[in-house]
Structure 1
Amino acid sequence: MMRQLIRYIFFLLLTGLLLAGSAGNAHAQKKKSGGVKSKQSELQKLRKEIDRYEKRIKESEKRERSALQRLDDYDRQTSLLRSLVTRLTEDIAENQKEIAIAKLNLSTAENELKQLKRSYARTIVGMYKRGRTHDTELLLSSESVNEMFIRSKYLKAYSERQRVNANEIRRKKRAIELQKMLLESKLKEQRLAIQEKRSEDGLLSRKVKEHKRLLTKVRQDKQSYEKQLRRKQAAARKVERMIADLIERERKRLEAARKKTAPTASRGATAKAPPRKALTSTTFGKKRGKLPWPVTQGALLEVFGENRNAKGHVFINNGIDISVPVGSPVASVADGTVSMVTYIAGFGNLVIVDHSELFYTVYANLSQVSVRAKQKVNAGQKLGKTGEGVSGPMMHFELWYDRLKQNPLSWLKKR
């Protein structure tokens, strides 16, 4: 009889608990669903871009476009695939942490609920054994009105405590239900992410092989090889224009700031560009010969200034080319802000970092980019990974002060 009574009481408690917790769980699930949708939307954009370049590659093969144009499309597609795989890898690692936390929280909540249930069960059994007459007898057996008042307060507090315990059981139960929902959702999300990553890994592997086959074809074709050299020179001129544009914008910003702080009488004067500082008077200039290399290994392929190709033709390099294994990390040589992340035929993926005082560094021929425009970066912070061009696995690096090209070897530490 007593067990049946206890079970009945718990049935009522748990029924109320589930009804009370349903609204909170629905809200939590809706919020989580919104976060997942946002993440999936970002990944979907990457997939659409990958598909777009896949169509371009197929169309270029049908129309027999130049191998270099197809090479550009492969470069962009493999870069996007690497970004997608990286994002999926990060999601899997993040999910793994959240799954571990969800399991721990669930285990903790279940243990706490068990303890509360045992305590509450003992209380109910005690109440059943004593019966309601016990409380009345306790009050009537008081030897004074004051003692009766004290006992009445005690019984009221005891009753309130049981009500609090019942509410706590309901709260713990809701927490357990929520943790189970979160855990199930995370496990499902993890399975999908792992499955998708395997698929994208396979696609990336196939595309890298196709890219290498096309690279080999271009290297063996003298016309394509010479055309790539011309494209590289065109890319260098484009970067030069980009730097000039960035410097012009920075000069305008500095002039606007100067006008705000200038005395009222001088504000109507003709605007003049701020004079170029001497290298030694700038913060960045004092790092000359002390900057770390953008890659930790590699040999020079091309030096700053004049170089000669295989046919003996002279060409100008605005920076240096460093031979380095594909996928090597590329780091910023100093603190700064990412001014631009773009793709230029002949230079591949490219990052420009603004180091203030009109100093800029350029990192090109990247197979993957890890930063975005306007992002603050520290010296040694990873910007991306090196790629492979027609001239082999390498990266291109430039350093500018104002509109003046600088020889990077004069700024980097001696090796």
Structure 2
Amino acid sequence: MKLHKLVFILFLSVFTLSVSAQTANELRRKKEAIERDIEQLQKSLNKTANGKKLTLQQINVINAQIRLRQDKIGTINSEIKNLDNQISQNTNTVHTLQGQLGDLKKEYAGMIRFAQRNRNSYDKMMFIFAAKDFNQAYKRIKYLQQFSQYRKKQAGYIENTQQDLNGKIKVLDRTLKAKSDLLKEQERERARLGQDKNQQSAVLNNLSKQEKTFKQDIASKKKQQAQYDRLIKAAIQRAIEEARREEARKRAAEEARLAAEAKAAAAKAKAENKPAPAAPPVAKAKTTSETLTATPETARLSDGFENNRGKLPWPVATGQITERFGMHKVDQASYTNNGVDITTAPGTPVRAVFAGKVIKVDYIQGRAVVIIMHGDYFTIYQNLRDVKVSTGSTVETKQVLGAVATTGDDAILKFQIWRGNAILNPEAWISK
């Protein structure tokens, strides 16, 4: 029973540690990805650090860097918590093994004492010959043999348990050292976060000195984005109107068919002197979503897009979100972002996040915008160059649409998701 208990404890320990190891690997990969993003943002910030003019992109990069640093600290906290669980599990296993080892040694000591008292061959022979009959004598011989074998097994159990105990103690020591290293790393990241926040404060303090220039920068950004927004809204509205016209055409044809059938049925009823049949019901007008998904193909696209919420691939293979969705206010200036800004390397390929049909490719000041329809969903890719698709073409998931154009010192993709006329937050849709 003690052996079975020991085996169960060891199995449970190995299973728990394998799960912890998997979690640790995931956390380590996440932390490494965050470190790469921070490094890339720092490179972007270094390019503009020497410029005298304060730009909105500088502020966005610093804010994104602070968010990533906070995410990294949170990941380190999760790593420490995971190690604490491992330390607790290993400590419990060590105590269990120590208790088991003590019990095994006590049992073995008792057997040694018994063997010492009965080590004489004459005593063993007398023990066998004192049997009442041959059957009992045979059983006593088997008992002595089994006792000898059990002693050897117990010695093996003690040796194996000692090895397991030594191994667990080494693992525990390594885990404690890893926790100590993580605590030091956490302190370093907190210090860097403090430096980032000081830099943020210094930049925001400079706003008062460059307030006029900065407001002009935001006004120019809003004016340019307004052009894109009008283009995007018009393209989506045109797609909706085209779907409605097609739906109206189909409905009219269906109503004409039903009217002809009703007329023929009425004529037949009159000829047979029967009451006229009831008129067929008038089809209800469809909603925008129903109109856009009227065909099986568009319905499948829409369902597929919706089922991949939170799992859609990023429109670029590498990059960091430097401006998030929604309203933004910097000092006294405010503006709204209908999507997210992803800062990446110049010339990075831009990919479709889902299969669909390109409904618009257009240019404003030499920069392209590509709009793709996925049933009643639309994805918008703004600030492109070297566009490789055209209006009316179909695309597959991760198909290259073009490359990110450089704006000033940075390559920024502006990415949006709409459902009909409703604007959605892309961060809820793309993979984490």
Within the candidate set 215, 225, 230, 2:215 is matched to 225
Question: Residue in 2 aligned with 1:337?
Answer: 310
Identity %: 16
Mapping for residues 382-397 of structure 1, pairs under 5 Å = none
In 2: Cα distance, 1:239 partner to 1:338 partner? 29
In the TM superposition, residue 338 of structure 1 has moved relative to its aligned partner by: 4.2
Within the candidate set 152, 156, 165, 2:145 is matched to 156
In 1: Cα distance, 2:142 partner to 2:23 partner? 50
In 2: Cα distance, 1:239 partner to 1:145 partner? 107
**Normalising to structure 2: TM-score of the pair?**
0.49
Question: Residue in 2 aligned with 1:208?
Answer: 197
Instruction: Say whether residues 1:51 and 2:1 are aligned partners.
Output: no
Mapping for residues 106-185 of structure 1, pairs under 5 Å = 106-133=94-121, 134-185=123-174
In the TM superposition, residue 56 of structure 1 has moved relative to its aligned partner by: 3.5
Contact kept in structure 2, 1:218 and 1:225, CA below 8 Å: no
Question: Residue in 2 aligned with 1:278?
Answer: 287
In 1: Cα distance, 2:113 partner to 2:378 partner? 78
Aligned with 1:142: secondary structure?
coil
In the TM superposition, residue 358 of structure 1 has moved relative to its aligned partner by: 4.2
Contact kept in structure 1, 2:31 and 2:72, CA below 8 Å: yes
Within the candidate set 55, 60, 73, 2:61 is matched to 73
Aligned with 2:312: secondary structure?
strand
Instruction: Say whether residues 1:401 and 2:419 are aligned partners.
Output: yes
In the TM superposition, residue 188 of structure 1 has moved relative to its aligned partner by: 0.2
Q: In the superposition, relative to structure 1, how do residues 157 and 278 fare at CA in structure 2: closer, same or farther (>3 Å)?
A: farther
What does the per-residue CA deviation read over 1:20-44, in whole Å, with 9 as the maximum and x for residues that have no partner? xxxxxxxxx9xx9999788656534
Contact kept in structure 2, 1:235 and 1:346, CA below 8 Å: no
Contact kept in structure 2, 1:338 and 1:351, CA below 8 Å: no
In the TM superposition, residue 216 of structure 1 has moved relative to its aligned partner by: 4.3
The number of residue pairs the alignment matches comes to: 262
In the TM superposition, residue 222 of structure 1 has moved relative to its aligned partner by: 2.7
What does the per-residue CA deviation read over 1:2-32, in whole Å, with 9 as the maximum and x for residues that have no partner? xxxxxxxxxxxxxxxxxxxxxxxxxxx9xx9
Within the candidate set 86, 104, 116, 2:74 is matched to 86
Contact kept in structure 1, 2:323 and 2:341, CA below 8 Å: no
| AA partner of residue 87 (structure 1) | T
Question: Residue in 1 aligned with 2:182?
Answer: 193
In the TM superposition, residue 77 of structure 1 has moved relative to its aligned partner by: 1.9
In 2: Cα distance, 1:406 partner to 1:141 partner? 97
Contact kept in structure 1, 2:62 and 2:200, CA below 8 Å: yes
In 1: Cα distance, 2:107 partner to 2:30 partner? 49
Aligned with 2:131: secondary structure?
coil
Q: In the superposition, relative to structure 1, how do residues 221 and 121 fare at CA in structure 2: closer, same or farther (>3 Å)?
A: same
| AA partner of residue 278 (structure 1) | T
| AA partner of residue 287 (structure 2) | A
| AA partner of residue 212 (structure 2) | K
Contact kept in structure 2, 1:399 and 1:407, CA below 8 Å: yes
In the TM superposition, residue 181 of structure 1 has moved relative to its aligned partner by: 1.2
Gap regions ≥5 residues in structure 2:
1-16, 240-284, 292-306, 315-319, 326-336, 343-352, 355-373, 381-396, 398-415, 426-432
Q: In the superposition, relative to structure 1, how do residues 358 and 162 fare at CA in structure 2: closer, same or farther (>3 Å)?
A: farther
In the TM superposition, residue 58 of structure 1 has moved relative to its aligned partner by: 3.4
The answer to which of 133-142 and 105-114 deviates more is 133-142
Aligned with 1:138: secondary structure?
helix
Aligned with 2:61: secondary structure?
helix
Contact kept in structure 1, 2:324 and 2:341, CA below 8 Å: no
Q: In the superposition, relative to structure 1, how do residues 360 and 106 fare at CA in structure 2: closer, same or farther (>3 Å)?
A: farther
In 1: Cα distance, 2:66 partner to 2:91 partner? 37
In 2: Cα distance, 1:240 partner to 1:170 partner? 78
Contact kept in structure 1, 2:73 and 2:186, CA below 8 Å: yes
Aligned with 1:339: secondary structure?
coil
Question: Residue in 2 aligned with 1:331?
Answer: none
Instruction: Say whether residues 1:62 and 2:79 are aligned partners.
Output: no
Give the structure with higher Rg (CA).
Answer: 2
In the TM superposition, residue 223 of structure 1 has moved relative to its aligned partner by: 2.8
In 1: Cα distance, 2:66 partner to 2:310 partner? 26
Q: In the superposition, relative to structure 1, how do residues 73 and 401 fare at CA in structure 2: closer, same or farther (>3 Å)?
A: closer
What does the per-residue CA deviation read over 1:346-393, in whole Å, with 9 as the maximum and x for residues that have no partner? 758949999x9846999xxxxxxxxxxx9xxxxxxxxxxxxxxxxxxx
What does the per-residue CA deviation read over 1:229-282, in whole Å, with 9 as the maximum and x for residues that have no partner? 54357668589979x99xx9xxxxxxxxxxxxxxxxxxxxxxxxxxx9626979
In the TM superposition, residue 214 of structure 1 has moved relative to its aligned partner by: 1.7
What do you get for the CA RMSD once the two structures are aligned? 4.6
Q: In the superposition, relative to structure 1, how do residues 406 and 39 fare at CA in structure 2: closer, same or farther (>3 Å)?
A: closer
Contact kept in structure 2, 1:359 and 1:400, CA below 8 Å: yes
| AA partner of residue 39 (structure 2) | D
Contact kept in structure 2, 1:67 and 1:218, CA below 8 Å: no
In the TM superposition, residue 213 of structure 1 has moved relative to its aligned partner by: 3.0
What does the per-residue CA deviation read over 1:26-85, in whole Å, with 9 as the maximum and x for residues that have no partner? xxx9xx999978865653443344234334433422244543232232133222212211
Q: In the superposition, relative to structure 1, how do residues 239 and 204 fare at CA in structure 2: closer, same or farther (>3 Å)?
A: farther
